[in-house]
Amino acid sequence: MKYFNLHTHQCTYQLDVLELVNQYPQEFDVAIPFYSIGIHPLFINENRLESDFKVVDEKLALPECLALGECGLDKRSETPFEVQQLVFEKQLALAEKHQKPVVIHCVAAFQELIEIKKRLKISVPMIVHGFSKKVELAKQLIDNGFYVSFGKNLLRYPELESVFKSIPNDRFLLETDMIEEGIQEVYALAAKYKNLKLNELQEIVNGNYKAVFEFNKQ
């Protein structure tokens, strides 16, 4: 695997890229080879939660479903925060049941996220996608067992260089999310920031992929 894209909303079918394509329970595309699936905190529909949970449970049992997500907590959401927490925690129970890692969407709720992980004693890997915050928060997440993923914001905001450089090499992944740039551009900038050759960065990301997505085979 030359490139791994932790989180994208479009499948490009490149032979040298393993893409984890984000899917939603009610908008499922069977043509996508590998995907994550989850109930996003911005799109919680309380009238269909039962059927959404059923779809997520069924898909997580399949080998082509590599992860739960994106799911999480978002204080911008119109859904009451207490409801978001309940939906998130129920999804985490499914991730534990199927032993699949979790791709996290988190906005202004990092302390609650850390508390939930501790309280529920989550054993599967958890990755905060689209990280764009400060070094101190990154360290707190890593100290609590999270991985962090960088992509759009790394390309857009040069001030994230110091944050990314502070991340231990065994704790990051890379993504494109919804940007037009390819994962190759994210890798190139990440290698530059880490002062690594591209092939060295690829080896690091491949090792992190195995730690996150093959953790239960080790």
Q: Binding site: which residues? A: 70, 105, 129, 177
21 forms beta bridges with: 8, 35
Average pLDDT of every residue of the chain: 97
pLDDT of residue 203: 98
Q: Which helix (H) or strand (E) holds 56?
A: helix 49-60
pLDDT tens by residue, 179-216: 999 999 999 999 999 999 999 999 999 999 999 999 97
Q: From the annotation, which residues make up the binding site for a divalent metal cation?
A: 70, 105, 129, 177
Nearby residues of 114 by Cβ (< 8 Å), 6 or more positions away: 140, 141, 144
> In total, how many domains does the chain have?
1
Confidence at residue 136, expressed as pLDDT on a 0 to 100 scale: 98
pLDDT (0 to 100) of residue 9: 96
Domain around 126: 3-217
Cα(153)–Cα(29) distance, integer angstroms: 27
Over the stretch 101-152, which tens digit does the pLDDT of each residue have?
Answer: 999 999 999 999 999 999 999 999 999 999 999 999 999 999 999 999 999 9
Report the CATH number that the domain containing residue 13 is assigned in CATH: 3.20.20.140
pLDDT given for residue 218 in this prediction: 57
- Determine the 3-state secondary structure of 92 from DSSP: helix
